[in-house]
Structure 1
Amino acid sequence: MRTERSLTRLDRVFARLDREPERPAMVDMPKMSRHRVVLFSATLAFYLAIVWAVVTTSWLVRLDWQVMFFRPYQQWPQIHAFLDYYVVLGQRGPTAVMVAAWLGWRSWRQHTLRPLLTLATSLLLLNITVGAAKLGMGRLGPHYATVIGSNEMGLGGDIFPSGHTANAVVTWGILAYLASSHWARRWLSAVSAVTSLGVGLTTVYLGTHWLSDVLLGWAAGLLILLALPWFEPLIARAESGIFLLRDRWRARLPLPAPPPPIPVGAAALRTARGSVQDTPAREPVGAREPVGAGTQDIAAREPVGPAARGPRTPVHLAPGPHLTRAERSPVTPGGSRRPPHTERGPHPERPAHGDRGGRGAAASAARPLAGG
């Protein structure tokens, strides 16, 4: 009994690497549902509450100063080297390159630009919103604080909200947003949340951000992810426009010239005959010049062929009866061996058998020479 081989994990990986024959017709795109609107409203309220608490120098500012004086990097110096590398997960350049490579492969595999366009839209929104908030509030970081207990607002800083935290939320959260199944979306959402909070707490440990900066950065990144369904129609129109430009560009390219058709049948036979007739005839062996002939001798050589020869002199045979080949006497260097005979009968004055001279004279007298 023959059984089919079960697929291994490596077989499933290679199956996923194969490109789909066409773009998926049903793409599960998140919509702006009521649940998402509620989450967006709650996150926006949390964002505004943190900003108000920092502007009014409330208990949150005092907590920031207490954490700063605690100096976590001095309390746990053994994890300092690890956290220096871990905080890279929140930097814009490395994370954007890694996620763009993954989403680029998905775009190629599914024949769509939606993953890359969604990533570009989220990063653009992140730069606009977070950058405007940083420059608008101008808060200084813990290392540059001037007055103990103050909120350090409006002094030309750019650390509120935390850019590392917001970037980690958006960059890793976009993978959950573009997941193709609910199970993958839940797990990736949890992983991105933990990663972004870990990056934010790492900046507090290193002393580069206040605790309130991390909370506001986490809320800023979550607002962008929750608002992405509102931009889905714009992303779809941009994708259609890019594909339309691609088709127009391809239509303008000149098509390669088709190869000449191969002659078949009678046409091929006529072509073959024409090539044979056009081929020059070989020079006869007798017409070749001997080895060592000079250039002048070759130039002075007369052409060889029927056209180059002169007219032949006509040959006149003697009158009288002509014998057939069988009746003619064979000629040898010693003379003819067959006894002479004539059609008119024996001559009365025929010489003896051994008289060769008489027979020759009689033959000469009987058959005159041509032209006589």
Structure 2
Amino acid sequence: MRTQDKPTAVEEQTARRGHSPLPPRMTRARVWLLGSTAAVYAAIVVGVLTTSWLVRLDWQLMMFRPYKQWPEVHAFLDYFVVLGQRGPTALAVLCWLGYCAWRGRTLRPVLVLGTSLLLLNISVGAAKIGMGRLGPHYATRIGAHEMWLGGDIFPSGHTANAVVTWGVLAYMATTPFARRVASLISAVVSLSVGLTTVYLGTHWISDVLLGWAAGLLVLLALPWFEPLMTRAEVRLLALYRRLRSGTEASAAPQPVAARVAIISQRAVPAQPGTPVPEMAGVGARPDGWPHALPRPHTARHERTPVTPTGSRRPPQVAHTDRTARDRTRTTGGTAS
């Protein structure tokens, strides 16, 4: 009879995920979307480098100055654009995914967020530094693409971060309905954040388009990193259990014999020639200090009752000074 092979740690960890969905696979449709998004990404970069109609659109919107056309919404959009900043959004999403990880007893939500932000920082940061495009407020020549001039706004970091950070919530959704709702919300937030940066004049429209593509590439590539995240989860949980078991072993109470031995070693030895008081029922320990001999313990009902004899009142003690005062008062009163 053939026996089945023992499952690996990764398979056991995946089998225990009855409370959470299995990680998405890199299907053919996802690969096709990934390739199409990469093609759009490359087309945007080429369009900016060749100073095509995309650059002309950038300058037209910049000259239009939307923040001057609708100044009444400027204060609100200044706060709304925070939804695309990496620090506040990552902290907010981390709180929710951390709760999900605690409830589901799994590290996968936190690992997915960390992996996606790491991929985002590497890909978007490299593109920003490599192309060095200046923003609308720092443009030097009208109609130019403003590339390789030391800037860092191409692609838009706010837009890409909004796509990835809020898109992770849809990626981690447990039901199809929740995934659709989360996808719709993340799409609306990322589109709004990107257009807000154009309104404020901090980004060209081509920066926003490339930011959408860059964030979508990270989300579509996440299934390729699922095996790595699973192995990392297994190792981290094993390390946590090992550290916890070691802490519990060190904090466990020691046996009585071991504690007695430790106390005996720490005791100060008696100096030679020091007299040891002799008491009834008291023996001597090897270190010279008195030690009470063990006695048998009897229950209360086994003890012999003892009837007290005599009176319980304390004996009357004659106070000589009080008697002398009373005599003096009596004598003095008679004499007078």
Q: TM-score range by the shorter chain?
A: 0.7 to 0.9
What is the deviation of 1:145?
Answer: 0.4
**For residues 224 and 309 of structure 2, what CA distance do their matches in structure 1 show?**
89
Within 5 A, what are the aligned runs for 1:153-302? 153-253=147-247, 254=249, 255-257=251-253, 270-272=297-299, 285=311, 290-291=316-317
Shift of 1:290: 4.0
User: Which one is further off, 23-32 or 39-48?
Assistant: 23-32
Deviation at 1:143, TM superposition (A): 0.3
SS at match of 1:271: coil
Q: TM-score, normalised by structure 2?
A: 0.72
Judged with a 3 Å threshold, the aligned counterparts in structure 2 of structure 1 residues 55 and 271 are, in CA distance, closer, same or farther, namely farther
> Partners of 1:179 and 1:286 in 2: how far apart?
83
Aligned residue for 2:206, secondary structure, equals helix
Cα distance in 1 between the residues matched to 2:156 and 2:123: 12
2:60 match = 66
Determine which structure has the larger helix proportion and give its number: 2
Name the structure, 1 or 2, with higher relative contact order (CA <8 Å, separation 6+): 2
CA contact (8 A) 1:113 1:239 kept: yes
* 2:164 partner amino acid: V
Which residue in the other structure is 2:81 paired with? 87
CA contact (8 A) 1:159 1:209 kept: yes
Q: Structure 2: any 5+ residue segments left out of the alignment?
A: 1-15, 257-295, 321-336
In structure 1, the residue matched to 2:324 is none
Which of 70, 75, 78 is the matching residue for 2:72? 78
Which of these residues, 104, 111, 128, is aligned with residue 117 of structure 1? 111
Alignment of 1:354-369 (within 5 A): none
Most deviating of 229-238 and 251-260: 251-260
Q: CA offset at residue 191 of structure 1?
A: 1.6
> Secondary structure of 1:209's match?
coil
**1:146 and 2:157 aligned:** no
**CA contact 1:24–1:110 (8 Å) conserved in 2:** no
Whole-angstrom distance in 1 between the partners of 2:56 and 2:157: 22
Q: Bigger radius of gyration, 1 or 2?
A: 1
Q: Quick one: structure 1 residues 137 and 247, their matched pair in 2 at CA, closer, same or farther if it must change by over 3 Å?
A: same
Bigger shift: residues 241-250 or 180-189: 180-189
Counterparts of 1:23 and 1:39 in 2: how far apart (Å)?
A: 28
Structure 1 length-normalised TM: 0.66
Q: Which ranges of structure 1 fall in alignment gaps of 5 or more residues?
A: 1-21, 261-268, 295-372
Q: How far off its partner does 1:257 sit?
A: 3.1
Which residue of 1 is the match for residue 33 of structure 2?
Answer: 39
- Name which of 36, 40, 48 aligns with 2:42: 48
Indicate if the aligned counterparts of 1:203 and 1:209 stay in contact, CA closer than 8 A.
yes
Task: Give the Cα–Cα distance (whole angstroms) in 1 for the partners of residues 86 and 298 of structure 2.
Answer: 69
Query: Is the Cα contact below 8 Å between 2:19 and 2:104 reproduced in 1?
Result: no
- 1:189 Cα shift? 1.2
Distance 2:135 2:309 in 1: 101
Deviation at 1:28, TM superposition (A): 3.0
- The percent of aligned pairs where both chains have the same amino acid is 63
Select which of 100, 103, 113 maps to 1:106.
100
Aligned-CA RMSD value: 2.7
Distance of 1:293 and 1:275 partners within structure 2: 45
Structure 1 outlier segments of 4+, above 6 Å: 279-283
Instruction: Give the superposition deviation at 1:70.
Output: 0.5
Cα 1:25/1:185, change in 2 over 3 Å: closer
Instruction: Report deviation, 1:27.
Output: 2.3
Q: Which amino acid aligns with 1:226?
A: L
Secondary structure of the 2:298 match is: helix
